[in-house]
A and B are shown apart, each in its own frame.
Chain A
Amino acid sequence: MVIRVSFPSMGWSKIAFKGLYRPIPGVEVVDPPVVTRDIVELGAKYSPEFVCLPFKVTLGEFINMIENYNCNVFIMSIDCGPCRLGFYAPIQERILKDLGYDVTIIPIQQDDLLDFQWLEPFYKITKVKGKLMRMVDIVKGIRFAFLKGSFIEDITRYEGIIRCREINKGDTTKTVEKLLKILDKEWDFQKLHQFHKVVKREFKKIPINRDIEPLRIMIAGENHIVLEPYINMDIVKKFGDEGIEVHQGNSLYGWVMHKLHVNFKRKTLERIAKPYIPMDIGGEAIWVIGHYIKCQKEGFDGFIHAYPFTCMPEVSARGIIEGQQPDPFYLPIQFYSFDEHTGYEGMRTRLEAFVDLMKLNRKNNPKFQDNYIEPPEIREIFDIPEKYEGINTFFTGIVEPFLNTLKILPKLKVNKRQHEK
């Protein structure tokens, strides 16, 4: 029997999740629909009143999929770290069962991906026998997820940087949507390994104005909020349309790499943030502070911190940043806290005021002048001809995934053995 399985979409990340589960035999992945107002309201209706927004959104997605998509097995990552995420799955399951739904939530332990507890669910969902095949399939899924995850990161990164330069409004959005659609449908490893070329080729087609020196901001904050464009009112696009170069501090790929202990960017940020937040307290708190300090040093013009209303780690980080302003933290920052009632109208005036403030700073404040550096991505897309990327392609496209797989394989075996005991 084929089991229909789904998961919370978390913006574009669903493309990577789909890659992860699709190769498993006996599983049919249900594509989670795009989050809408109705879904959020549905979730909020059945959630505890004071819980953080991602809980409500994911609960709404589950109910929607049970009701309308004939799917009642969900995979959900949990984290028994200090924050609330570890309680999402059990309490959502409880709520759904009390509502009378027959539902299974399969938790994925993401505390530390190197201890391989997260493989358990694979064995749980697939009932197909033949152990070797299962392992091959799992490795395949992991390769898909890694590749697709890294391209989602690339696409969204380019998006923030190109949009402020586009000459014809809307080009970037169209390109992004097109690329993500192709990526979602691509199941050929050969082609996937070359996909970064497609990405660059498509972005290169957008006519841009390269002479401007736009204002630069970074958007960072709680993962779910920053990665789910419906929830954050597509803040990346809003700022881009105002002519601002947007850098993003969050990505699913980066997060997974961090959990595998190989995200050195995040390690650097942790070191920077250490005096202010000495340990991971859940959420993105420590990296938000790290990003903030780094951006100030690099001469950014502003910083946006987005998080769910009353999110414990993020609010703590906010308190620290606010307490240290304006000295030593002088980089302008704006906080957006989201709940199910947030609408764009309420945000617009604040967003525009922030843009004005940054413009004024550029004009009058020497701290924000003459430190613009064109991001390397522009050169990557527009200057470097494709053929010179040979070695690079070889490395990022073949060697790296291969090494990743190799690294994981022996542990998989150990895990399997334990599992059989």
Chain B
Amino acid sequence: MNQTEKHRLKIGIPRALYFYKYGPFWTAFLEFLNCDVKISGPTTSVIVEEGTKDANSELCIPIKIYFGHVKNLLSEFPDLDYIFIPRYVSSHKEQFFCPKFLILPEAVKYGLKFDTPIITLEINVKKNSEHESAINFGKILGYNQETMIKAWDYANQKFEEFQDKAYEGDYIELLDELDTNPKHKRKKKKLKQFIPEAIRGKFMVNILVLGHSYNVYETHINRDLIGRLEAMDCNVTTIEKLPKSEFSEKITINEQYHQYWQSEDEILKTARYYLRDGKNTIDGVIFLISFACGPDSLIQEIVMRDMKKRKISYLDLVLDEHSGESGLITRIESFTDMIRRKKYN
């Protein structure tokens, strides 16, 4: 279907997986092309349940949630022209994304049955340059090369602006701003304050939260981890708060193996930064892992061993659809307590 003056294409984006990273890019890209972008609402238990129902139980929870969001989009906006499902193969010559990203469009198309067509932006720099990807995408919508290159550059610029803002501001709020749909506005939940009034703010601890963006900023599945940590008097650092220069140097494992997972690259680089230069700025590390996540299962082992060696407190939290809220709170509470005792005694 082509974009015409009269009909503005309505394209839906599921708010899951790399929406938490590349969302600003996609929305800017599609809006430049004069599309009407619809984003699914924030994750709810219903969405998780819907996704879990149709996805294989051995899939990782983020993919299940993605399925849920696709279904949610379809029911909320039945008149969508397309669902936007990107295919991230690699955005760096020597690296790959996790295999599940490689066939995300097919996994959704054949795993769920629905009629709305899928539109795919394929990022694979092993085969095409980024501009070529944009041009291929434009062919489906009937745009010429020039426009597509412009759209790409525009989106890139917006993406960088977003990252700069996120460096200072609240990442979750900034992401929410991408969706102007008033129905999707989130109410700020009041979280229980764990620290007694009298000593609040006096015994702060610094926590680094590692993990994929779709785990760290997905407040439903991680039960608002960042907010809760803050309510426990923690200064929370995430990957996005690291100076960009830290991400340029290549990473190897045991000196001789090269690291080829893009999704894990930032995690390892952040970990490395805090093992070296930033060593004294954090008191503990929390790694958010999705159950059944392949890359995490191995990277977590490296990070854990490294942290242990340097005697930095480390906690891994495995997220799945069954994990209860109270269990999670107890674990982070005792973790932060332990760190606090160590630090201020």
Contact = CB atoms under 8 A, between A and B. Distances in A.
Contacts of B60: 310
Contact of B260 (A80, A98, A107, A285): A80
B323 to A, nearest CB: 14
Interface in B291-309: 291-302, 305
Interface size bracket, A side: 35 or more
Contacts of A278: 103, 106
Interface stretch (A22-30, A81-89, A131-139, A404-412): A81-89
B96 A320 contact: no
Contacts of B291: 50
A87 B297 CA distance: 11
Interface stretch (A212-220, A245-253, A311-319): A311-319
A82 B99 contact: yes
Contact of A84 (B110, B294, B318): B294
B110 A323 contact: yes
A120 to B, nearest CB: 11
Contacts of B157: none
Contacts of B112: 323
B180 interface: no
Interface in A371-388: none
A48 interface: yes
Given A98-B305, A319-B107, A323-B111, A83 B260 contact: no
B106 A94 contact: no
A282 interface: yes
B56 interface: yes
B30 interface: no
Nearest to A83: B99
Contact of A91 (B96, B113, B301): B301
Nearest to A84: B294
Contact of B102 (A50, A51, A279, A320): A279
B292 A320 contact: no
| Residue in A51, A89, A315, A320 with the greatest tally of chain B CB atoms within 10 Å | A315
Contacts of B99: 82-83, 281-283, 285, 312-313, 316
A50 B293 contact: yes
A49 B298 CA distance: 9
Given A89-B257, A107-B257, A312-B294, A276 B305 contact: no
Contact of A94 (B107, B254, B258, B300): B254
A94 B103 CA distance: 31
B98 interface: yes
A316 B103 contact: yes
Nearest to A98: B305
Contact of A319 (B55, B97, B254): B55
A52 interface: yes
Interface residues of B, number: 40
Interface string A295-310: 0000000000000011
Given A310-B292, A310-B294, A320-B111, A82 B96 contact: yes
Interface string B265-286: 0000000000000000000000
A322 interface: yes
A324 interface: yes
A323 B305 CA distance: 40
Nearest to B122: A278
A322 B291 CA distance: 21
Contacts of B131: none
A212 B173 CA distance: 69
Contacts of B312: none
Interface in B86-136: 89, 96-100, 102-103, 106-107, 110-113
A277 interface: yes
Nearest to A309: B58
A51 B96 contact: no
B103 to A, nearest CB: 6
A107 B257 CA distance: 9
B293 A318 contact: no
A337 B318 CA distance: 21
10 contacts: A82-B96, A86-B260, A87-B298, A91-B301, A94-B302, A94-B305, A276-B106, A277-B106, A281-B99, A316-B100
Given A95-B301, A319-B107, 10 more contacts: A48-B301, A51-B298, A80-B260, A82-B99, A276-B106, A279-B102, A285-B103, A310-B294, A319-B56, A319-B59
